[in-house]
Amino acid sequence: MAKDFGAEADGGRAARRRQFAEAAREEKPDLALLCLLIGAEADPELDEKGMDEAQIELDRLAGLLPYAPTGGPGAWARNLAGLLGTRCGFGGSPADYRRLESSLLHQVLRRRRGLPILLSVVWLEVARRAGAPVYGVALPGHFVVGLGDPSGAHVLVDPFAGGRLLGEADAALLVRGTTGGELTAPMLTPADPREIVLRILNNIRAWAQARPEHSAVQLWALDLSLLLPSHPARLRHERAQLLVQRGEFLEGAEELEEYARVLDAVDPTTATTLRREAAAARAMLN
């Protein structure tokens, strides 16, 4: 009997998505694992062995990091910058924003290039493994890393710039340069791992949305986003619209109608609009 490789691939994807959903609901989510499961969606060659190798590389890098128990946040920051930024060459450039690989942890570990948030994930995972007091900081438009006590003595560093130390004025300039707004205290609070994962998936969606030939990438990024315990409700609408754009009119119409039922009690006007969209999608079948 011939082997059905398509069914086998679909089964593997379904298993990885179950693993992703379960990992996202853990009390303390494994950020590296969630990022690697995102990578497995993009790269069918990334199997369990490849994900284990990526985790081992993070362990190896952590083993190279000089321990700084008494030097405070500044010493941890200098040691991380020396190892990851200088010795290993992790960093980014504007060109990295044009590559999907820049949002995939296993590729960032291999290429040592990536978006600010993925480079920050490398720093977070290496520093955490080495015992450093580390946390992510989701500045609008540019993710960075904090070391120390978020409500006390701490420093901010920019992994995209090889670990450059950021003063408050530097952080404010980053925010102003990407959004035109001002830095506020809530922006400096530690980011939850699930928040980090959703932001990575948002980046992937935005990358694919600008490249219609990669609508399949946008679709799986939406699918994973919807598996997170907390996600914007509008993603369901975006997924339904994407299905219609891809020519999957019936499935898209069904999702629009299902979302309309959810909104009936809280936003009947939008629910009516969604049903009109569903009717238009069904009409395209004729």
Q: Which range marks the domain in which residue 59 is found?
A: 3-193
Q: What is the pLDDT of residues 192-233, one digit of tens each?
A: 999 999 999 999 999 999 999 999 999 999 999 999 998 888
Per-residue pLDDT at 180:
86
Q: Last residue of a domain, which of 145, 168, 193?
A: 193
122 and 264 in a single domain? The answer is no
Q: Does 258 lie in the same domain as 137?
A: no
Strand order in the sheet with 134-137: 134-137, 144-148, 154-158, 164-166
Model confidence pLDDT, tens digit, residues 48-74: 999 999 999 999 999 999 887 777 899
Is there a single domain that holds both residue 119 and residue 238? Answer: no
Two tokens, residue 192 = 């939850």
Shared domain check, 241 and 179: no
Asked whether residue 184 falls in the same domain as residue 101, the answer is yes
Structural domain includes residue 162: yes
For the chain, what is the domain count?
2
List the Cα angle 134/137/140 in 5-degree steps: 170
Residue 135 lies in a domain: yes
Co-location of 155 and 23 in the same domain: yes
Task: Name the domain boundary from 193, 208, 223.
Answer: 193
98 within domain boundaries: yes
CA distance 155 to 257: 49
Half-sphere exposure of 188 (CA within 13 A, CB side): 23
H or E, element range at 150:
none
Instruction: For 100-109, give one letter per residue: b (16+ CB within 10 A) or e.
Output: bbbbbbbbbb
143 and 280, same domain (yes or no): no
Q: Which of 145, 164, 193 is the last residue of a domain?
A: 193
Q: Please report, for the chain, how many H helices and E strands are present, in that order.
A: 12, 4
Residue 192 DSSP code: P
Would you state the structure tokens that stand for residue 221, as one six-digit string?
């990024």
Q: Coil, strand or helix: which one is 87? A: helix
Exposure string of 267-280, with b = 16+ CB inside 10 Å and e = fewer, is eeeebeebbebbee
Domain assignment present for 89: yes
Residue 211: inside a domain: no
| 126 shares its domain with 267 | no
Residues 57 and 180 in one domain: yes
Q: How high is the pLDDT of residue 3?
A: 47
Helix (H, G, I), strand (E, B) or coil at 62: helix
The reply to whether 213 falls in a domain is no
In a domain? residue 172: yes
Which regions in the chain score pLDDT beneath 70?
1-9
Q: Taking the complete model, does pTM exceed 0.95, yes or no?
A: no
Q: Does one domain contain both 44 and 125?
A: yes
- Whether 91 is in a domain gets the answer yes
Are both 123 and 260 inside the same structural domain?
Answer: no
Contact 123, 92 (CB under 8 A): no
pLDDT at 70: 73
DSSP letters spanning 63-82:
HHSPP-SSSHHHHHHHHHII
Kindly state whether residues 122 and 250 are assigned to the same domain: no
